[in-house]
Copies of this chain bind each other. A is one copy, B any other.
């Protein structure tokens, strides 16, 4: 059993980490922190945990965290993570960071869309935790930059095809739809029930910070610069993310090659389910689980392939993928603590 701390436990990704780690066979949850709720019982904030988790939130003291934990999950806003990570790493902790602070290889790309980076050395050491793609690198990683939810849902279907040069990288479009939990726990006009319920809309059409994250990883896969048009939408559901991806077929690409490429790539990867023909991924069917469901349709008449994916934005899109990365870092079974069946309804 290793000891785990969740820093920023009271946000939605944090609470989901507590849920997953509290049922993990190889982990003992030793410490939860919260700037806003230090001193408050975690179960008082999230009554679901009554009788299951009796930890009290503590302040973000890096020394105390390092003393109590072998692995630390940072479920913090961007910028805050990079102030805490170096000290935890120095103290010998392994760190999985759920913010954007360690997702980029290219410091300039990060700084163009976020802020100046205060520990570029760690940035270049950090491994991008898209486990199915960068899994080999995660094994010895001290620091994981856990992917954004949108990039996870977009990159898993696209990267194999981009790598194999089956689709035209100049034609990529990602139309993505997210449940409201993706907006976080803060109460704002945009998350008010009456604004969201019976609503459906796009947002940040003119630019979202997940675009450069996608573009860096797609370029990495293609071996040359790749751009993508990405439009996020808000769905009136709590959990779930569905992405519909459009790509022009490279001349000569056949449906069978698409199938073979995806099948080969995901062979033996336990959290990607390639759906049977004519079944389309539904956010409902992956809720609460670490699955990414993928399907596609090749339309030779229009020269395009449409790829579809569904994940739970809080699990495979955040906390579940973080646990999956921890499993690899510590040599546990990749599915340890993540084998739950999604609710049938």
Contacts and interface: CB of A to CB of B under 8 A. Distances in A.
Interface in A33-68: 44, 46-53
Contact of A229 (B231, B236, B304): B304
A246 interface: yes
B177 A194 contact: no
A341 to B, nearest CB: 5
A275 interface: yes
Given A173-B246, A200-B177, A345-B238, A229 B283 contact: no
Interface in A146-203: 173, 175, 177, 179-181, 185, 187-189, 191-203
Interface of A: 12, 15-16, 18-19, 22-23, 44, 46-53, 173, 175, 177, 179-181, 185, 187-189, 191-203, 205-206, 227-229, 231, 233, 235-240, 242, 244, 246, 270, 273, 275-276, 278-289, 291, 293, 295, 297, 299, 301-302, 304, 306, 308, 310, 314, 339-345
18 contacts: A15-B345, A23-B339, A47-B285, A48-B285, A50-B273, A51-B270, A53-B341, A175-B246, A177-B177, A180-B197, A181-B345, A191-B192, A193-B236, A197-B236, A198-B240, A199-B237, A227-B301, A340-B340
